[in-house]
Structures are given as structure tokens and as C-alpha cells.
């Protein structure tokens, strides 16, 4: 396992549940992910609250709008002290570049470290048939590689992709970029609603730098024990 625990626990739940899970997971993981459900319910306060407990926070809102709007949202996320946040690579190079530049300016103005900007390529719930249904003729793997190259040109810090595409993305981005992989589930957990998945160890071996894991930890009878079990599989 890397010196830094690569697991990011996804808190797709209520604020009370999120704070209880955070208290349980202190010392077990360093990163927590705040997605749309939790952020839209609680707003910026949830990011501050989790940071006060000592966690790094990954704000996963998948920004996708005109560059001006994304720049404004990216600046606000940077002011919260988030460690990472996401934009949709499908928004184009100008939009991604606006997010990078705006977040770095805002972080400098507020004295926060600049957050890593991650470009989402193809959602792990999507497969070739899903893409075809919305007019994308490339396979999921081909679409991920195309968007990863576009994102790299826009200056993002990393990519969000399925573990199945992690090796190809790592080859495109090089050794220092972040490759964050949702769709990671231990062999002992249920598959859930994600189509392109992998075990934690396999995802790291493929080139992932961070692993987003939700329900196998958060829905476990003992979330701390589940997190520790996953960590033991990565040693």
C-alpha cells in the first residue's frame, strides 16, 4: 500500500450519518468524498465540518457548465479548503482550464493549498451500450482515453475513471498525475449498480492513485473494521 492510505470513503448519506461515519473512521482513512446528495442537502458547511475533524475532503460535484459558471463554482470550492474536486471532461478544454485557473487563484487569495482538479471521463455506471444510446460511437475505453488526453491538455491534475481504464489513463498522464477510481469493491462485497468495477488491489496495480469506496464501508455493520480490512488487502 502507498505511504498515504489511498482510500477515499464516499459519504452518500445524510449529514448526521456522515458525521457519525466520520467520527468512526478517524484514524482509519484520510479522505472523505462529499457528493451531490450530501452537498446539496448541507451546502459548504459539511465540507468545513469534515475538515475540522481532520479529514481531507474530495468535493465530487462534477461541474459541467459554461466556463464562466464553472470558474465561479471552482473558486468557491477552493475557498472551502477542499483537497480535490471534479469537473466533467465532456465540458471541453476551455471549461476545464477555467476551473484550474480559477481554483488556483482563489486558493492563493484565501491562503489554502490549491485543490486538485479532476476530470471525470465516463461514469462507472455507463458501458458501451449506454454511450451508444446517447450517440457516442466510441467504446467506453476509447471515450475515456479521448477525454483523458483532452483533460491533460487543459492542465488538470488528474482523471476520474473506472479501474478498467486506469492503466491506459496512467500511460497518457504520466507517473505524477492523480488517477482516482470509483467502481472499486472488495471481492467480499456486493456489486451494486456500477458496471465497470475492480477490487482495491487490482485498481492500485492498474495505476490508480486513489480508490473511491462507498457502500462496502459505509453500509458495513462495522465501518471501521471494513476500512481496516480493505487496508490490510493493500499491504
**Catalytic site residues?**
62
DSSP state letter for 29: B
Which residues sit opposite 58 in a β-bridge? 33, 84
Whether residue 206 contacts residue 198, with contact meaning beta carbons closer than 8 Å, is answered with yes
Q: What's the CA gap between 137 and 155, in Å, rounded? A: 26
C-beta separation of 22 from 47 below 8 A: no
Q: Which residue has the cell 475557498?
A: 79
Alpha helix (H) residue ranges in the chain: 15-25, 36-42, 45-52, 67-79, 93-110, 128-133, 140-154, 166-173, 200-206, 215-218, 223-233
The secondary element (H helix, E strand) that includes residue 133 is helix 128-133
Q: Which three cell numbers stand for residue 75?
A: 473558486
What is the C-alpha separation between 130 and 225, in angstroms, rounded? 36
CB 182, CB 212: distance < 8 Å: yes
The cell numbers describing 25, all together, are 473512521
Set of cell numbers at residue 114? 490549491
d(CA 69, CA 5): 33
Amino acid at each position: 500500500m502507498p505511504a498515504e492510505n489511498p482510500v477515499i470513503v464516499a459519504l452518500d448519506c445524510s449529514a448526521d450519518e456522515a458525521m457519525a461515519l466520520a467520527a468512526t473512521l478517524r484514524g482509519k482513512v484520510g479522505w472523505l468524498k462529499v457528493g451531490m446528495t450530501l452537498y446539496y442537502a448541507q451546502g459548504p458547511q459539511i465540507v468545513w465540518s469534515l475538515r475540522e475533524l481532520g479529514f481531507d475532503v474530495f468535493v465530487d460535484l462534477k461541474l459541467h457548465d459554461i466556463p464562466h459558471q464553472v470558474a465561479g463554482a471552482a473558486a468557491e470550492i477552493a475557498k472551502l479548503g477542499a483537497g480535490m474536486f471534479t469537473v466533467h471532461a465532456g465540458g471541453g478544454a476551455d471549461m476545464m482550464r477555467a476551473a484550474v485557473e480559477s481554483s488556483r487563484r482563489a486558493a492563493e487569495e484565501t491562503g489554502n493549498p490549491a485543490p486538485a482538479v479532476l476530470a471525470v471521463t465516463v461514469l462507472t455506471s455507463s458501458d458501451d451500450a449506454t454511450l451508444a444510446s446517447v450517440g457516442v460511437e466510441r467504446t467506453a475505453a476509447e471515450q475515456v482515453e479521448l477525454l483523458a488526453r483532452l483533460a491533460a491538455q487543459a492542465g488538470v491534475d488528474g482523471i476520474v475513471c473506472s479501474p478498467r481504464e486506469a492503466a491506459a489513463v496512467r500511460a497518457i498522464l504520466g507517473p505524477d498525475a492523480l488517477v482516482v477510481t470509483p467502481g472499486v469493491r472488495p471481492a467480499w462485497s456486493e456489486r451494486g449498480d456500477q458496471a465497470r468495477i475492480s477490487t482495491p488491489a487490482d485498481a492500485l496495480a492498474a495505476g490508480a492513485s486513489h480508490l473511491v469506496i462507498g457502500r462496502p464501508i459505509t453500509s458495513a455493520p462495522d465501518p471501521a473494521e471494513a476500512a481496516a480490512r480493505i487496508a490490510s488487502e493493500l499491504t
